[in-house]
Every structure is written in C-alpha cells, then in structure tokens.
Structure 1
C-alpha cells in the first residue's frame, strides 16, 4: 500500500508463449511465489492445433522485493526449463511507454488517440506525430505534441528517401508502438521487418475482405450489410498481418458510400484504440499469423 493507504496499481507483467507440456503453470506460479509476487491477474490459453501454450501474469510490483532487471534475469532460468523456443517479455507498468503516430490527411483516428492519451486512457505518452501532409499539424500542436512533416514524391519509385527520413524520425523516439492512423502509404519491407511486432495499422474493412485501397467503395459495390474495421500488425504482405482487434456496424441498401465512410469512422476509432491499448498492456501474443489477445 502507499502512504495514503491506497493499493499501488503498478504491475510487473509477464507475457509468455512456449511449446505446451505438463508443469508450465506450476513452474511459473512457483517462481512468482518465491519472489513474493502477489498475482492480481492471470490468463491462459493452450492451442491444440499448434501445440503452443500462452499466458499473461500480472503481479503487484510492490510485493516483489527486487527490481525488474533482476527479476528478468532470475526468470530466464525458468524460461530455459520450460523450453528452448520460449518467447517471453517481463515489463514494468510503471515505465511509461512511447508511441509515434503516422498520419496523412484523415483526422478522426488522430483526434481520438490524442484525446484518449490526454485523458489518461492510454498507458503511454504520444512522443510525436509524423505526417506526409501538413494538414494535421494543427491537431498535434493543439495537444502539445511535436509534428514532423515528411514530403513524399508522387512517384512511388522515388519515395525511398522519404521513408528513410520517416525511419530516422521514428527510431529517434525508440517507440514501443508505431501507429499507422490512416497513414495512406505502404511501408516498405525493411520498415515492416524493423518495426515487426510494434507497427499497428487500422484498416477500414473487416479483413480479410476488401483489402487495399477504397474498401468502403468496394463494400458498397458488393452490397454488404456489415462494414467493419481491423487493427493489425504491419507486415510486408499488404493488410495481412496478425489481427489484434475487429468490430462491425450494420448498414443497409439505403446507405450511400458517404454514409458508410461516416459510420465506419466510429468503428475505426474504437478498434484502433482498443488494439493499441492491449498492445501497450502486453495483452497481445503473436504466434505466426495469429494472435492471442488476453483482453
């Protein structure tokens, strides 16, 4: 407890994936008990198709008598015992995470994320906004956030230097998440690989339907009754990265494309903010093309 008698909500969070076998939970629980860890949240999932086990455990940081670096070093022994292919992270919720947002001209997702960050709804600080147009600079500055403009040539074959500039800017902030908030540029493969597991995109469609450009127009042409949005990790394959979150809204024959765009923006904002929050809280574990989300 704090001096005011309020329980400290700072957490040490362990997220882990490994080959499934008997005794994994027992080893982790024993380790946490031995370091005095007071478990406040625990989630498990075993995937019979892949034979992989996933867990997320959160303990009160104040219950553990050692720092996060020493805790990581001690847990490595447990990870080695569980299996050589173990994938794990151990983070301190008290360490503020950093987010860089990439934008073009669409403002709704940026407004929403900056508003949530200002209201304390995102467990991170927005370090910077980078845009390939200057349209959204006033939005960022209104929130006291640094805005960088990178000019992109019209010819896609000439955009290499612009992406190099984006890479330098993003990496200078060492962000935990790079958010493509309706950034209407396709990241080159080297950036997809460099930011793998950190770059999140919002696609204005319920993937895998209507990939690529103008998905609302594609949906209107097909006469769909549901439109949606997808938050996914960015990979070199367009709009095909592991999915973090999705949602839909119903439309009907009377809705024009403009109606779908207007309604879809609400879903885009919700889906992106949920996906980003879960990523920042270490609730998303990626395995191949799929994710396990302990929401």
Structure 2
C-alpha cells in the first residue's frame, strides 16, 4: 500500500521511515504543500498525509477521490484546513493525531512567555557582543500574576498546571470546564472576565467559525493595559492588523506568536535570501516586544515520535477496515 506525503521535511522522513518498518508502506515524500496545483500528483496512492498548511478543500478532495484515495491522514491535531463534508460526500476517511505531546506545546508557550518578560533573547545577543549592561532588560515576575487561558483541552490544561506551579492565579475559559483542573485550583470564568482580569493571556483553542478572529479590536479593548498575549494554537484566532494597532498604542505590552494567519506562505521555509512581501509579518517583527517562532511548538523528539506512530497506525487500520485506537483520531 502506498502513501503520498505533502509538506514533507527531512525530519518527517527521519521519523516516519523508522516507524513505517512494521507497516511496510511504500511512502513518497513531496516537499510542496497540497493544493489544487499539485493534487494530480497522486498516482496510485491509497492515502495522502498532510500537515497544517495543506489546503484540502472540496476541489482537492474531488481530485483525490477520482485518483482512488481512501484516506486523508493529518499528522497534526487541527483540521480546520480540511473540508470534512466534501470528504464525507466522496467516501474518504479522514483521521488525525489528536494528542501527540500536549506538554511540548505547553512548554514552548512558557518558553516564549519567559523570553518576552525577562528579555533573555535580547540579553543573549547583547552579551555575545560583549555588552554586559542591564539597561533595557527590566522584566517582571510571573509569580503572583493572573494568567488567562482560553481553551483547556490537553495543551491548555498542561499550560494551566505549569503556570499554577509558577505561583500564578490561573483563570480559564472553555465551553466544557475540566473538573480535574478545577480541583487543582484553576478558576473558570466567562471569556469577558478572563480577558479583563488577566495579566497574561494564552490561546489554546481550535480555529473554527466561532473562534476566527477571537482576538480583535473589541476583545483587545477588554484587556488590561499592558497585557501580554501568546498564541501557540492557530494564527486565525488573532486579527493581526488589530493586534498591531494595540501594540502601537501600547495597550498590548507584549505579543508572542508561534502561528500566523498567513503562515502558509512563510513558515517551514528558508527565506533568508528572499524578499518577504508580507508587510504585516514584517511590521510585527519590527516591534521589540514581539516574539515570533515559526510553528515549532510541537517540534520535540517525543512529539514527532508519537505523530509518526499514530499517523501510520491510523492509516493502517483504516485501510484494513478497522477503526483507529486513539480516541478522537477519526474525523469521518
């Protein structure tokens, strides 16, 4: 049986080749992202494996169905880039990796937060230039601060527990409160109250029509002046233009993003010798109080191991008429 990978990088091949040995799939890796321009590259594969920025819309799915594809496997948790109804109409099964390493993303969120509030990235560069001055490096304690967490699934829950360990007061918003987190001292509040009360706000919710541009001019205005905002979930949760205005007015004191709403044109590529035409990301990166990483929160050995193992298991079981073992792995 054959699988065609899209948006494949050397590290994908490294991990998937190892964990494919028990399955024996014939795998072909393409570095290009999946979209209407390349969907016809499918040639005899029964499954395609896609990532966060692949466009699996109705047009693409119709081509995949015509080519005989039976399974679309996401090697990630989010699935906002897949037209599930179109896949259902064409009888294509869709699966994902709902839980690969919540701690990986939660820990990266904390790393970004600490970097911003203690300015360690600036200190690192300064010391390498033999500048040992502390001027301009003043930060603030996280201990005793109020942390607002929007979305308390596996990743948001892991982040809540870490921040509780820092001695923070943690307020959370989720449509479905987690009773274990409540017992651990996490206080659930309406979204508006979380936004108004928090010194730091971290986004851990999925991207869907209800959460698209969750952070906009209106919700930014609700926040405390001097708030720090972090997004390691999906770029479309933040209206970037509105965030830039909040940064310019200094209402938003710090912004850390591992995701960006137009990231498919930028992330996972080496553009160091290119002229980036995206003026919005260039404007963002010009702020001294903005930290951008290129969708690397998931990028640990543990997470990539789990992604490879679960993705291949999902494909194997679906192609053999069985259901995947991990809860939430099957979308349709």
Q: TM-score range by the shorter chain?
A: 0.3 to 0.5
User: TM-score, normalization: structure 2?
Assistant: 0.32
Bigger strand share? 1
* Structure having greater relative contact order (Cα 8 Å, sep ≥ 6): 2
More helix by share: 2
